[in-house]
Chains A and B, each alone.
Chain A
Amino acid sequence: MNLRPFVYYLLLAEAFAVTTFGLGWWSVPLVAAAWGLASRSPRKAAFASLAALGGWASLLLLDVTRGPVATMGSQLAGVMHLPAFALYALTLIFPALLAWCAASLMPTVRKTAQDSTAVPATPA
């Protein structure tokens, strides 16, 4: 059984969680972009997306253990006229989308960078 993808997933999710904790939410697309550059996998965007979701889910779970998250959720849902689950879903979808987009764009960025740094062909 190949555990490598699982370990990568954990490490990437952890990276999302740690950088969010230390830097803020905007670190999500940065980490995803870095992953997009480093990974050769054809499914790197989906992988980053799931890892970002997992990273934020773990932070959310940590919050649950430390305070009345459910009360907060139902109150905020009331303020925003949304069902409570929608807020939780939004909290998880938001980083997932950020990560997917950032990771998806990286091959293009890399290609553009390569194209701009490539030595032009000598005319015959």
Chain B
Amino acid sequence: MMRRAVAGIVLAILMVVGFRATGPVPPLGPFLDPANGVWAGAAATSFPSVQQVTIPGLHDSVHVLFDDRGVPHVFASSEDDAYRALGYVEARDRLFQMEAQTRAASGRLSEWAGDRLLETDRQNRALGLVWGAERKFAAYDRSSMGFKAITAYADGVNDYIAHMRPRDLPVEYRLLNALPMKWEPIYTMYFLSRMSLTLGFNDATVRRLKAEAMVGKDAADALFPVNSPIQQPIQPNGSSKARFDFSSLPAPGAPDSSVLAIARAREDLASSLAFRKPTETSDAIGSNNWAVSPKRTADGHALLAGDPHLDLTLPSVWYEMHIVVQGKLDVAGVGFPGVPGVVIGFNRNVAWTFTNTGSDVNDYYEERVDNDASPSMYKLDGAWKPVEKRIERYLDAKGKVIATDTLRFTHRGPMRRILGKWLSMRWTLYDPSHEPDNFMKLGYTKNANEWLDVMRDYVVPTQNGLVADRSGNIAIRSSGKYPIRPGDGRGDVIRDGSTSSSDWVGQLPVDKYPFAMNPAQGFLASANQQPVDPRKNSSYMGSDWYSPWRAMHINDLLRADSMVTPDDMRRFQTDPGSARADVFVPYFLAAAAKEDSAGRSDPLLRDAARLLSSWDKRYVRESHVAVLFEAAMNELATRTWDELRDKNKKPAPSDRLNYPEAQVLVELMRQPASEWWDDRSTPARETRDDILAASLRAAYQSVSKTDGDPKSDKWLWSNTRHANIFHLLRIPAFSALDIPVQGGPSTLAPSSGAGTQGPSWRMVVELGPEVKAWATYPGGQSGAPASPRYTDRLAKWTNGLLDQVLFPRTPSDLDRKRVVSTLTLVPQ
């Protein structure tokens, strides 16, 4: 009897844990089921060698051949069919990623994770990402190529979801105890909004405001200048090397605590928009691109290199594809899962790529409202205008409403209450635009001029679009909508919202965009630096630009090589040289020598200087010195910018977020006795060389203390700086962590301290009689963590190697030995 009672109780418990999730543990029944559960999912990580699927509504059969790199070659007879097939195959490879990105962009993560991600959802919706995407979608021309494509793509995704067997469910859904949602065309717009947040949301005012609070307006303006003090612009300015436009930095002024409060509030807003708070400034999410004219290449064909840097994730942000529509389109490259078509790539005549311009395209306005607690009207030009309200509901996994927000909008954009003030935001993201059309039409262009025409009405995020064609043309234009502000035109201030005279008065005409075509120097390069020399074009486009170290280095490499080959282009992408180290190392060594000759040196400083002087200034994995230089640079910034820190607090790594770019530090180097060099924590008055020597000595001491003898392996750069490529859910078991990489801060393959950002796609294209391309990205085509195609590209990416991209004109042109799977979609 007792045995049966136990059996009954155990059975009841097993049925409960079998059917229901308990805490973070998914329902065990469907999870462990070896026929339909997670184990059976292992079989779904590879595709059948031949498969045929019937798709209702398809116009004609579509043949999809997967090569041994996992790239689908889609052969269709119409664009509709091609994009529908693309939706199907991208969903097959990346369904979970597509949904996760969509939920992140549309503020619906709490439907998976409940309260834990509610705040992230609230911030995303409050920023107007969803509102903006919906406005764009509503205004989208239904007859346009882009709209038709995102609709066909959505159909394809849903076709795949309808055909999924239980075993095909990606493992992440099982862990979350969720099922895929139906894919809607608007999800493409959500994703593009999210990408605009990553690349086009530039709150340049925060650091400047914080500095203003500590050292006054004049000093802050000098530390965070509108124009880069080192000019190596994207649009060549006729100079054969970078120009140093240095001026004298004013001494630190009096603090202003009222500004600090505003700055802190803005900073909180900015960091709440990110999933992770940044811990240091970094250009690892910048990008590089360059192109070389035929006159400077070994084979006499134009060459183009694309190297966008983004968050490194598994699966990758990119999906590689080749789409052929008979007689119309033949395009290859990468796109974003969730967005139909190739964003960066090439066709039979043209190759193109992008870097982020980083221009200032969002502004804040202080509004006057009728009711501070719950405004329903705002004042404009002396009259009350109604505030647009929008109720946002947040659901949990069971569909229960767990929170409700009322969002408010003026004619400019969403309003937020910050420190008792209502600020509204204007952002080009909220304006009607059709980026899917722009990206799609690029695939049809036959030369660089046609390509530039397609990009004329591109809006957001602003991008340095680089193109090369088979006729030998190379061109670059910083495309996107650049607002024109009234008055001094600057966008790094908060404007008075009560008057329409504060509003944008127009947009920069395309002929004023930074642009160059076939320059005399024979090459073009961009690396997120200030795009145009202010002496050539003084239009305000942004401020607080990245230091142009990467731009300087790639320009140096390209100037030095008049016979560039595709393999040189590949090598340059991971070149470990650093213009930043080239500039700063001599200063450290000179300061140490000065101490020595003055009899003030000591064994520590002498050892540090000896070691630093032995360095070739290259961030290779085998370097024992790069770690010392980086520690010295951190010490230098901490000691120099002590005026920008709360003097009652100990220095912390996060302080670096508030420091000016290193190019401003170079500017300060020209003023060896400036008050900025004085370390306020000592009674003495320090000079530049005192601080440099002290920084080098302290760095050597600190690294020796942590890592022992400089000859030990602990000093190796490969033991210091790693790429950390996290799974989208940040599950370590699904991530690739601690990957030693070549490159350091501000090298062409930059590595941030956390290692979570970097080169997301590397591509080299030769525009010869037959277009040839080589490429890779960190990860693999499959989104299934157990699939051999999940990280199969990682080794080559780590070592700076590329695969040749297969680019067959017809299915029969593709080498059969390299076809691993064939999928035929047939109409019903």
Contact between chains at A25 and B41 (CB < 8 Å): no
Contact between chains at B39 and A91 (CB < 8 Å): yes
Minimal beta-carbon separation of B49 from chain A (angstroms):
13
Contact between chains at A29 and B15 (CB < 8 Å): yes
Interface string of A92-122 (1 = CB under 8 A from B): 0010011011101101100000000000000
Interface size on B, residues (CB 8 A): 39
Q: Is the interface of A mostly helix, strand, loop or mixed?
A: helix
Interface string of B780-823 (1 = CB under 8 A from A): 00000111100000000000000000000000000000000000
Contact between chains at A24 and B786 (CB < 8 Å): no
Minimal beta-carbon separation of B596 from chain A (angstroms):
53
Bound CA span A97–B28, Å: 13
Q: Which residues of B lie under 8 Å from residue A25 when comparing CB positions?
A: 18, 29-30, 32-33, 36-37
Contact between chains at B4 and A26 (CB < 8 Å): no
Contact between chains at B3 and A76 (CB < 8 Å): no
Bound CA span A90–B10, Å: 15
Contact between chains at A63 and B14 (CB < 8 Å): no
Interface string of A43-68 (1 = CB under 8 A from B): 00100000000001001101100111
Bound CA span A102–B734, Å: 37
Bound CA span A25–B38, Å: 12
Closest chain B residue to A107, Cβ basis:
B4
Given known contacts A68-B42, A72-B42, A101 and B34 CB-to-CB distance under 8 angstroms: no
Bound CA span A17–B33, Å: 10
Confirm or deny: B8 has a beta carbon within 8 angstroms of a beta carbon on chain A: yes
Contact partner, B733, options A60, A78, A94, A107, Cβ 8 Å: A78
Closest chain A residue to B167, Cβ basis:
A63
Closest chain B residue to A101, Cβ basis:
B11
Minimal beta-carbon separation of A16 from chain B (angstroms):
10
Q: How large is the interface on A (under 10, 10 to 19, 20 to 34, 35 or more residues)?
A: 35 or more
Bound CA span A122–B562, Å: 114
Contact between chains at A67 and B731 (CB < 8 Å): no
Contact between chains at A78 and B39 (CB < 8 Å): no
Contact between chains at A79 and B175 (CB < 8 Å): yes
Confirm or deny: B746 has a beta carbon within 8 angstroms of a beta carbon on chain A: no
Contact between chains at A75 and B733 (CB < 8 Å): yes
Minimal beta-carbon separation of B38 from chain A (angstroms):
7
Bound CA span A105–B10, Å: 11
Confirm or deny: B46 has a beta carbon within 8 angstroms of a beta carbon on chain A: yes
Q: Which residues of B lie under 8 Å from residue A104 when comparing CB positions?
A: 3-4, 7
Minimal beta-carbon separation of A49 from chain B (angstroms):
11
Interface string of B511-525 (1 = CB under 8 A from A): 000000000000000
Contact between chains at A79 and B43 (CB < 8 Å): no
Confirm or deny: B651 has a beta carbon within 8 angstroms of a beta carbon on chain A: no
Contact between chains at B32 and A69 (CB < 8 Å): no
Minimal beta-carbon separation of A30 from chain B (angstroms):
11
Closest chain B residue to A22, Cβ basis:
B35
17 additional contacts (CB under 8 A) given A66-B42, A68-B42, A97-B14: A20-B36, A24-B29, A25-B30, A29-B11, A29-B14, A59-B35, A63-B34, A67-B786, A69-B39, A76-B733, A79-B731, A80-B25, A91-B39, A100-B7, A101-B10, A105-B7, A105-B8
Shortest 3 CB-CB contacts between residues of A and residues of B: A78-B733, A67-B42, A101-B11
22 of the cross-chain contacts (CB-CB < 8 Å) are: A25-B29, A25-B32, A26-B29, A59-B39, A59-B40, A63-B34, A63-B39, A68-B788, A71-B42, A72-B41, A72-B786, A75-B734, A77-B733, A79-B733, A79-B734, A97-B14, A101-B7, A101-B8, A101-B10, A101-B14, A102-B7, A104-B4
